[in-house]
C-alpha cells in the first residue's frame, strides 16, 4: 500500500481526497449528531442528484465545458438545506416530512435529466456509489478549500451553533440570531455532504458523516474534543478503507463506509461488557 502511494497517482489523490473529506465530516458530523438531524444529510445527498443531472444536461446539450455535475451538486445541496430550514422555521413543519419530500423530488428530477442527457452518463454512477479513484488534483484543491471555509466559520460561530443545537428557545433569550445560524449550519452540512459524495457517493454519505462523530461521542462530552476525535476517526477509516480496497480490489468508497460500520458496531462492545457486569 505504501509503495503504491508513490507509484500510483490515482491512489495518492484518492487518499488526499479522503483525508480532506474526513476533516469536514468530523467537524460538521458533531453538530449533526448533537442536534439529531442525521437524516437531513441523507435527504441532501439524494436531492443533489437533481442538480447533478441538470448541470450535466446543460453541459452536454449546450456544449459548455466549464460546467460540471459537482457544481450542480453544490447548488442543489445549498438550496435543499435552505428549503429545509425555511420550511422548518417559518411553517413549523416537522423536518422529517420535508426531508422525505426533498429526497424523492431530488431523485426524480435527477433521473429525468439523466434520461434527457445525450451520450453515456456513467460518471453520475460514480457520484451515486462513490469512486474516490476518480478525483483529480483540482477536486482535491476544492475539497481542502471547502475544509478551510467550514473550519473558519465553525471557529467564528462555535458558541452560536452549539446554542441552537441544544436549545433554540434559550438561544433566542440570549439574543442569538437563531434563524440565520440555523440556516448557516444547514448550509455547512450541505457542503459536507458534497465533500463526502466525492469519497463514498450519495448513497453511503450518511455513514461517513454520522459514524465518526457518533463514536467520538462515546469518549467525551466536550464538543471541541468530539470534533477532534471524529476527524481522527474519519482519517483512520479513510486509511484503513483505502488500504483494504487496494489489497482486496474492492470499490474504495463502499469499503471505507463498510470499515466505518464495522468500527461502529465494535464500539458497542465495551458498553455491553459494562452493562453485563451489573
- Domain that includes residue 48, residue range: 2-277
Average pLDDT over residues 93-120: 79
Residue 89 Cα to chain centre, angstroms:
23
Question: What pLDDT does residue 94 have?
Answer: 65
Average pLDDT over residues 74-96: 81
pLDDT of residue 225 exceeding 90: yes
Measure Cα distances from 47 to 35, 52, 81, 193, 270 in Å: 21, 9, 10, 11, 37
Report the percent of the chain where pLDDT is more than 70: 88
Render pLDDT for 166-218 as a digit per residue (tens, 0 to 9). Answer: 888 888 888 889 899 999 999 999 988 887 887 777 767 888 888 999 999 98
Neighbours of 163 (CB within 10 A): 19
Question: What pLDDT does residue 161 have?
Answer: 92
pLDDT of residue 131 exceeding 80: no
pLDDT of residue 5 exceeding 90: no
Average pLDDT over residues 225-229: 94
DSSP 197-213: HHHHTTTTHHHHHHHHH
Measure Cα distances from 121 to 128, 159, 189 in Å: 12, 44, 27
pLDDT of residue 3 exceeding 70: no
Between 100 and 20, name the one with better pLDDT: 20
pLDDT interval class at 141 (50, 70, 90): confident
Contact predicate 71/128, CB 8 Å? no
- Report the domain count for the chain: 1
Average pLDDT over residues 212-233: 92
Averaged pLDDT of the chain: 83
The alpha carbon dihedral of 48, 57, 63, 120 has a sign of positive
pLDDT of residue 59 exceeding 60: yes
pLDDT of residue 97 exceeding 70: yes
Contact predicate 143/17, CB 8 Å? yes
DSSP state of 133: G
Q: Which residues of 107-122 are buried (b: 16+ CB within 10 A; e: fewer)?
A: bebbeebbeebeeebe
pTM: 0.86
Question: What pLDDT does residue 235 have?
Answer: 92
Q: What is the CATH number of the domain that holds 163?
A: 1.10.3470.10
Amino acid at each position: 500500500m505504501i509503495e503504491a502511494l508513490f507509484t500510483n497517482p490515482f491512489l495518492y489523490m484518492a487518499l488526499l481526497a479522503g483525508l480532506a473529506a474526513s476533516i469536514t465530516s468530523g467537524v460538521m458530523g458533531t453538530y449533526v449528531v448533537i442536534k439529531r438531524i442525521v437524516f437531513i444529510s441523507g435527504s441532501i445527498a439524494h436531492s443533489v442528484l437533481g442538480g447533478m443531472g441538470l448541470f450535466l444536461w446543460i453541459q452536454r446539450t449546450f456544449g459548455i465545458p466549464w460546467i460540471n455535475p459537482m457544481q450542480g451538486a453544490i447548488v442543489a445541496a445549498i438550496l435543499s438545506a435552505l428549503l429545509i430550514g425555511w420550511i422548518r422555521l417559518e411553517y413549523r413543519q416537522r423536518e422529517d416530512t420535508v426531508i422525505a419530500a426533498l429526497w424523492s423530488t431530488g431523485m426524480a428530477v435527477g433521473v429525468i435529466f439523466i434520461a434527457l442527457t445525450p451520450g453515456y452518463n456513467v460518471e453520475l454512477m460514480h457520484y451515486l456509489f462513490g469512486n474516490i479513484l476518480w478525483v483529480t488534483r483540482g477536486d482535491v484543491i476544492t475539497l481542502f478549500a471547502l475544509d478551510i471555509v467550514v473550519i473558519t466559520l465553525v471557529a467564528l460561530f462555535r458558541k452560536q451553533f452549539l446554542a441552537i443545537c441544544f436549545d433554540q428557545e434559550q438561544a433566542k433569550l440570549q439574543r442569538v440570531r437563531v434563524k440565520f445560524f440555523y440556516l448557516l449550519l444547514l448550509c455547512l452540512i450541505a457542503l459536507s455532504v458534497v465533500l463526502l459524495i466525492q469519497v463514498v457517493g450519495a448513497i453511503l454519505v450518511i455513514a461517513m458523516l454520522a459514524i465518526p462523530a457518533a463514536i467520538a461521542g462515546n469518549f467525551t462530552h466536550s464538543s471541541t474534543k468530539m470534533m477532534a476525535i471524529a476527524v481522527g476517526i474519519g482519517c483512520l477509516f479513510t486509511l484503513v478503507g483505502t488500504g483494504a480496497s487496494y489489497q482486496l480490489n474492492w470499490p474504495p468508497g463502499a469499503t471505507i463506509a463498510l470499515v466505518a460500520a464495522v468500527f461502529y458496531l465494535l464500539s458497542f462492545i465495551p458498553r455491553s461488557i459494562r452493562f453485563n457486569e451489573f
